[in-house]
């Protein structure tokens, strides 16, 4: 019954690189449509692709275009998704069949980007932040589908740790239960996206891209399905004051509660609200940490295919 060719479109450059065992780095599109405002989102997405190339790998930005699961969208398609913003459907695992069958456009979350990357044979994926266990999840049950995907899909994810819109402690517990190792790149502490510190420990500190690639290669060779989550701290010069950003996040979460925001709208609302409260300074930090993750993702991909 499996009939991927009907739905999957892989850019020739990406297809060729995968076939020849060259490094490829997957990139998500929800960060473009729902994670940042236009035109910074488009500018950032194009720069990220450039950084991946400068570091010796092929970028593959992933989205659903007219119902086609597309691995390696064009700059024009990046611009289109960025302009359309929140009007694009945010596609997590559950949304894929409907969006695909109905020929719609969709922006892929971390979960969906992992699924499509794996379909295309891409092993490494760089982004900003992942979804996780939300604060208050003990009553709301709001746990991102990204965590299930990290457990099931064999694509390594590079992020800047988790935003404290999430409950970092519960997110780590969930990842442990689901068998996902959390690696700190040159740090033993879990970074908290805007800041380099969180007070939580990662499972393993690794100091070189080669060490990370080695552990992931072993995971693949053993046939142990699932991801490794590489957490890369924001560069010092772009990191934010912890008390300041924590207050902005707490305010954003309160506003979301007052407005009764739920389900898939929660994360995009919080991201936007934090950017408004901090009058754009958090956006600049966000952009820089994504660039930093793109560099590390390309370096790990290069080591993996050495």
- Of 271, 295, 302, nearest to 40 by C-alpha is 271
Site size with Mn ion, rule: CB under 5 A: 1
- List CB contacts of 55: < 8 A, sequence separation 6 or more: 294, 295, 298, 299, 302
Q: Which of 79, 105, 118, 142 binds Mn ion (CB under 5 A)?
A: 142
- Of 182, 170, 107, 98, nearest to 138 by C-alpha is 170
- CA atoms of 44 and 38, how far apart (whole Å): 10
Cβ proximity of 26 and 45 under 8 Å: no
Where in 218-257 is the site for ligand PSU (CB under 6 A)? none
131 makes contact with ligand PSU (CB under 6 A): yes
Q: Which stretch binds ligand PSU (CB under 6 A): 4-12, 29-37, 70-78, 196-204?
A: 29-37
DSSP annotation of 202 reads -
Q: Which stretch binds ligand PSU (CB under 6 A): 57-65, 125-133, 182-190, 205-213?
A: 125-133
Q: Residue 45 or 213: which CB sits closer to ligand PSU? A: 45
Helix, strand and coil in the chain, % to nearest 5: 50, 15, 30
Q: Which of 123, 163, 196, 295 binds ligand PSU (CB under 6 A)?
A: 163
- Nearest residue by C-beta to Mn ion? 142
Q: Which of 109, 227, 232, 282 binds ligand PSU (CB under 6 A)?
A: 109
Please give the residue ranges that form the binding site for ligand PSU (CB under 6 A): 28, 30-31, 35, 92, 109-110, 128-131, 144-146, 163, 264, 267, 271
């Amino acid at each position: 019954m499996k009939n991927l060719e009907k739905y999957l479109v892989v850019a020739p450059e990406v297809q060729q690189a995968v076939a020849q065992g060259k490094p490829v780095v997957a990139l998500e599109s929800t960060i473009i449509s729902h994670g940042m405002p236009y035109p910074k989102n488009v500018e950032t997405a194009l720069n990220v692709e450039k950084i991946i190339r400068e570091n010796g790998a092929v970028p593959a930005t992933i989205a659903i275009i007219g119902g086609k699961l597309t691995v390696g969208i064009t700059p024009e398609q990046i611009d289109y998704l960025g302009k359309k913003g929140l009007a694009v459907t945010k596609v997590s695992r559950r949304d894929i069949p409907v969006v695909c069958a109905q020929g719609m456009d969709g922006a892929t979350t971390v979960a969906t980007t992992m699924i499509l990357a794996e379909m295309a044979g891409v092993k490494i994926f760089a982004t900003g932040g992942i979804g996780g266990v939300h604060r208050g999840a003990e009553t709301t049950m709001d746990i991102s589908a990204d965590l299930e995907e990290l457990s099931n899909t064999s694509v390594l994810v590079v992020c800047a740790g988790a935003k404290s819109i999430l409950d970092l402690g519960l997110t780590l517990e969930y990842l442990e239960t689901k068998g996902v190792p959390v690696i700190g790149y040159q740090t033993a502490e879990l970074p908290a996206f805007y800041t380099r510190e969180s007070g939580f420990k990662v499972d393993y500190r690794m100091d070189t891209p080669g060490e990370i690639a080695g552990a992931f290669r072993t995971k693949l060779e053993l046939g142990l399905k699932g991801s490794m989550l590489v957490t890369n701290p924001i560069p010092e010069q772009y990191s934010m004051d912890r008390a300041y950003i924590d207050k902005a996040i707490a305010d954003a979460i309160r506003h979301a509660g007052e407005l009764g925001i739920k389900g898939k709208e929660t994360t995009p609302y919080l991201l936007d609200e934090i950017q408004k409260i901090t009058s754009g300074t958090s956006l600049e930090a966000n952009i820089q940490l994504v660039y930093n993750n793109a560099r590390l993702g390309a370096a790990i991909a290069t080591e993996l295919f050495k």
